[in-house]
Amino acid sequence: MAFLDALGSVFSIVIMIALGYFLTHKKWIDEENAKVFAKLITNIGLPTMMINNLMTNFDKAKLLDAGKGLFVPFASIALSYLCAKVFCRVFRVRKGRQGTFQSIFFVSNTIYMGLPVNLALFGEQSVPYVLLYYIANTTFFWTIGVYEISKDGKIGGTKLFSKATLKRIISPPLLGFSSAIILILLGIKLPSFILDSCRYLGNITTPLSMIFIGNTIYYVDLKGIKVDKDMIGALLGRFVISPILVLLIILIYPLPPLMKNVFTIQAAMPAMTNTAIMSRIYDADYKYAAVMVAISTLLSILVIPIYKVLLT
């Protein structure tokens, strides 16, 4: 019964993903439309959601208390990266996809999938904790993750730290998050009409994110997928090792129940969509990356209710 209840809590997400798939099949949405969706989510929906949610639900004391939890996602993702390096050798991942394998293993889809999933499971009070994990996740991906992927490619590696890397980390969602933090710390309150506008615009984030995921899945040829050790190793990292590391760290560094639950769910999210994009840019094994993004997204629909039951 608990599993069915947990499954029901994410069923709305499944419906929206299926709608994205169906609309793409019907040619209502193509790859160009999907790019517009991604821009709307990243540049408008997420920043406004951050501003409204933080400024509505947090004061200075609550904010400083929540910030203490930032250690856990940074520590767990760092340990997951080290595990990915070990797994890469144990599973003898072939050259040309080792960096992609590692990125799938230790970074997750914290925004397009993680945010709406946590909203469905835990409500709006989970959003600030989603963002805390997002800060660590996006920092690791655009530095170590992209660096490892670039080493797979045929067009040469990239620098671990550069101006381009910094620009990618300082994204619109992070700027929205930072702006809200500064306003709260300074004790500045925004007029109600601005917060209302942010709330309405922020509400587009979840449905557009799920439709975007459905569109992405549509373009992956699932019929030709062959299960191999490289796939199994990456999925073990994504759905087992990464969330377990969060739970182990929390045994030493206790967190409030909601924060613990959100961090665990975030660690168990599917592979980051940008993994396939960066693999394509650096001429690495982008087909493997695209398949892993699709497979992990589909499997997450089953994994999420399992973790919800375990956490409750």
The single residue listed with the structure tokens 């003898």 is: 92
How would residue 230 be classed by pLDDT, with cut points 50, 70 and 90?
confident
**Confidence (pLDDT) at 85:** 93
Which of 29-33, 64-68, 180-184 has the highest mean predicted lDDT (pLDDT)?
180-184
Report the distance separating Cα 108 and Cα 117, nearest Å: 13
Proportion of the chain above pLDDT 70, given as a percent: 90
Burial class (CB within 10 angstroms; exposed 0-12, middle 13-18, buried 19+) of 131:
buried
The confidence score (pLDDT) of residue 201 equals 92
Angle in degrees, 0-180, between the axes of helices 229-236 and 71-90, rounded to the nearest 10: 160
Q: Residue 159 pLDDT more than 70?
A: no
| Collapsed DSSP state (helix, strand, coil) of residue 236 | helix
What pLDDT score was predicted for residue 56? 83
Distance CA 212, CA 33 (A): 9
2-311, what's its fold?
A: Na+/H+ antiporter like fold (1.20.1530)
Lowest mean pLDDT among 37-51, 248-262, 263-277: 37-51
The pLDDT score that the predictor gives to residue 22 is 92
Delimit the domains of the chain by residue range: 2-311
Q: What is the mean pLDDT of residues 65-79?
A: 90
CB 30 within 8 A of CB 24: yes
Tokens of 49: 């959601």
